[in-house]
Structure 1
Amino acid sequence: MTEHDVTSRWRRFWERGGWWRSLLLVVAYYLLFQAGSLLFAPLLAGVDDPAMIVFVGTALPIALGGLILVAFGWSTGWLRELFGPQPIRGRAWMWIAVAVVLLFNVLRFATVDYGEAGAGMVIAWLVAGLFIGFAEEVLTRGFVVNLMRKAGYREIVVAVVSAALFAVLHSGNLLSGQSPLATLLQLVYTFAFGLCMYLALRVTGNLIWPILLHATTDPSIFLQTTYPADSPLTGIAALGNPAVIVTGLVLLIFIRGRVSLPAGPNVTSDRVSA
């Protein structure tokens, strides 16, 4: 069997799409990411600078995860497809998801005590956030959505599966000592947040926008939670997670339509309003 035959079979396998291939990809990514994270563990020995811990312990491993995903996209020939225009148009109501997430990200950034946090910590989290947004959105709103659409699922199924697999990625926090209750609440939040990011993908028409929106979410949460400013807005900013949960779950009701992507290297699609 030639190298060309192997490549063709690999691409045909993924072009068929489906929920179980989506799950397979997410599990494979998670295992590779965890294995890759071990490469950076020795660099943390003796490090007591909080900013450096964030950079080495969070930013570098997730950056490696992003490279793994780029390599997968190159192997399947999907990179242009993922970052090109969306095959279906969004509706105006979908901007609600973008507005709610963006509003609370701005509020959290506005209520961080930057003097206490320090420039190093802020920069470390902004860099980590960019890597997190890229890797997690390319995986779940990029590859998973693409796989689900190739199998012809209705859009509500695509949205739910991509959000559910995004949430499952965070269940591994149990292994790091996080309590079951905290993990359960995180799963509810990440599922709803995933729905909001799917709607952001739909209404903006390009994967780059949920990547950037996600990239501002994690830094704003961690910085504002760890270094809250003494401000009347701080309490309002703290309502961000409940607001996202309600928004995501309510807007899920209104997702309609279907988009079917035919298999093949030159993917086209039927345009369906939803």
Structure 2
Amino acid sequence: MGERGTRAGTGANAWSRFWNRGSWWKALLAAVAYLALFLGGSRLVGLLWGADVAPNPFADARSVVVALLLPLLIGAVVLLAFVASLRWFPALFGPQPIRGRGWMWIAVVVTLVPIALRLFGTDYGAYAAGVVPLTFVVGLLVGLTEELLTRGIVVKLLRDAGHGEIAVAVVSSALFGLLHASNALGGQSPVLVLTTVLFAFGFGLMMYLVLRVTGSLIWPILIHALTDPTTFLATGGIDVAGTGQESVLNQLAGPFNIVFVVFAVIAICCIRGRVGAPGAATAPRYDGMHAAE
């Protein structure tokens, strides 16, 4: 980089210097900070417009917007602004610095199957006007925010700290699972919260494998963006079991949560690699401040 690289390094502000030095505790800090801001945004939206929101956010279009869409939109803006402030867009949305092995395509298949089953197994006519399309918009925001945070920002911070990919996979998936522990604030039972966290860890590991094998953050975002709305509409709620008479296709989709967890445990034993190791990088690696050089 020579003189130009020296000027860039010395000219970096304290904010960039802090985040461009990766570590596991900064990954944790990023996740906790986002969760706090998201919950705060949800509380603010609820205070301003939540008076008439139904207990079930999928009861009508207004409830979907106020209870789900607006808080997620705030979260998306915050995360995108954070990434922009560090100039990390090439690092996060460009080609991954390390690619996966062929067996990781199993994760793509086992996450797409329940999506397809629920897409064709859900009675969309049971919902009020506007609920279904708005729920898919919510799903897109969920996929963007949660994947940008855990498979984007967190993964980058862990890799920049020099951690091997097995640690990157486990820690990023664990943080993703722990984000769902916030459901306890909504009054869910401890057993249901723990179950949700476990299932979220398994799904998070699947998304890590999708990131590795496709080489792009876009694909985990899109698969996640379809998983959540199809699950919400199939079950009629968030992190709940289906109620009433379910279609056969939705019944077949249900056990995939267990499949995610089981496959995650197996996959952890098979994940190898480290960014920067000889032969590991198959794409450019960006480091924030010097991404454009």
- State the AA in 1 paired with 2:73: A
**Residues 1:232 and 1:262: Cα distance change in structure 2 (over 3 Å):** closer
Q: Which moved more, 1:173-182 or 1:39-48?
A: 39-48
Go from structure 1 to structure 2 and tell me whether the alpha carbon gap of 1:47 and 1:94 turns closer, same or farther (over 3 Å shift).
same
Q: After superposition, where does 1:82-93 map in structure 2 within 5 Å?
A: 82-93=92-103
Structure 2: which amino acid aligns with 1:37? S
Match of 2:91 among 53, 56, 81: 81
| Deviation (angstroms), 1:50 | 2.5
Residue 20 of structure 1: which of 22, 25, 40 is its match?
25
Distance 1:196 1:189 in 2: 11
Deviation at 1:53, TM superposition (A): 0.8
SS at match of 1:38: helix
Match of 2:279 in 1: none
**Could you say which residue in structure 1 is the equivalent of 2:177?**
167
TM-score, scaled to structure 1? 0.90
Matches within 5 A, 1:102-113: 102-113=112-123
Task: Report the Cα distance in structure 2 between the residues aligned to 1:215 and 1:89, rounded to whole angstroms.
Answer: 22
Q: CA deviation at 1:240?
A: 2.1
Q: How many residues align?
A: 265
The Cα shift of 1:81 comes to 1.3
1:42-191 residue pairs with structure 2 within 5 A? 42-48=48-54, 50-191=60-201
Q: Does the 8 Å contact 2:60/2:127 carry over to 1? A: no
Residue 108 of structure 1 deviates from its aligned partner by 1.3
Structure 2 residue runs without a partner (length 5+):
1-8, 237-241, 277-284
Q: Does 1:222 align with 2:238?
A: no
Distance in 1 between residues matched to 2:53 and 2:195, nearest whole Å: 31
Provide the C-alpha distance between the structure 1 equivalents of 2:60 and 2:10, rounded to a whole number of angstroms: 49
For the residue of structure 1 that corresponds to 2:289, the secondary structure is coil
| RMSD of equivalent CA atoms | 2.1
Q: What is the distance in 2 between the residues matched to 1:136 and 1:207?
A: 11
Alignment-mate amino acid for residue 266 of structure 1:
H
Q: What SS is found at the alignment partner of 2:13?
A: helix
Distance, in Å, in 1 between the alignment partners of 2:70 and 2:187 is: 21
Aligned residue runs from structure 1 range 228-239, under 5 A: 231-239=247-255
Q: Which runs of 4+ in 1 moved over 6 A?
A: none
Quick one: percent identity of the two aligned structures?
A: 49
What do the CA deviations read for 1:230-260 (whole angstroms, capped 9, x no partner)?
5332321222211222222222221001014
8 A contact 1:108–1:238 mirrored in 2 = no
CA contact (8 A) 2:87 2:288 kept: no
Q: In structure 2, which of residues 263, 278, 282 is the aligned counterpart of residue 247 of structure 1?
A: 263
Equivalent of residue 11 in structure 1, options 6, 9, 16: 16
Q: Single out whichever of 41-50 and 206-215 deviates more from structure 2.
A: 41-50
Could you say which residue in structure 2 is the equivalent of 1:271? none
Contact between 1:104 and 1:237, CA under 8 Å: does it hold in 2? Answer: yes
Q: How far has the Cα of 1:117 moved from its partner?
A: 2.2
5+ residue gaps, structure 1, are 269-274
Given that residues 92 and 203 in structure 1 are in contact (C-alpha distance below 8 angstroms), is that contact kept between their aligned partners in structure 2? yes
Summarize deviations over 1:61-84 as a string: whole Å, max 9, x none: 011101101111111111121110
User: Is the CA contact 1:112–1:229 (under 8 Å) kept in the aligned structure 2?
Assistant: no
**Which residue does the alignment assign to 1:39?**
44
C-alpha contact (below 8 Å) 2:91/2:287 kept by paired residues: no
TM-score (normalised: structure 2): 0.85
The CA distance in 1 between the partners of 2:196 and 2:228, in whole Å, is 13
1:157-181 alpha-carbon deviations (Å, 9 max, x no partner)? 0011100111111111111101000
Structure 2 CA distance for aligned equivalents of residues 249 and 216 of structure 1: 24
Give the residue type in structure 1 aligned to 2:289. Answer: P
Deviation of 1:112 after TM superposition, in Å, equals 0.5
Give the SS at the match of 1:45: helix
Counterpart secondary structure, 1:233 = helix
